[in-house]
Amino acid sequence: MKNFKNLALILISILFSTNALAQDETIEMLNKLDKETMVYSKKVVRVNVGDTVFWKATDKGHNVEFIKGGVPEGVEKFKSKFNKDTQYTFEIPGIYAYWCTPHKNMGMIGFVVVGDDKSNLEAIKKIRFSAKSKKIAPELINSL
CA proximity to 56, closest of 40, 70, 43, 45:
40
- Asked if 108 interacts with Cu ion (CB under 5 A), we say yes
Q: Least Å distance between CB 106 and Cu ion?
A: 7
Q: Least Å distance between CB 18 and Cu ion?
A: 34
Size of the site for Cu ion (CB under 5 A): 5
- Asked if 103 interacts with Cu ion (CB under 5 A), we say yes
Closest residue (Cβ) to Cu ion? 100
- Asked if 104 interacts with Cu ion (CB under 5 A), we say no
Over the window 51 to 90, marking each residue x when it contacts Cu ion by CB under 5 A and - when it does not, the resulting string is -----------x----------------------------
Residues that bind Cu ion (CB under 5 A): 38, 62, 100, 103, 108
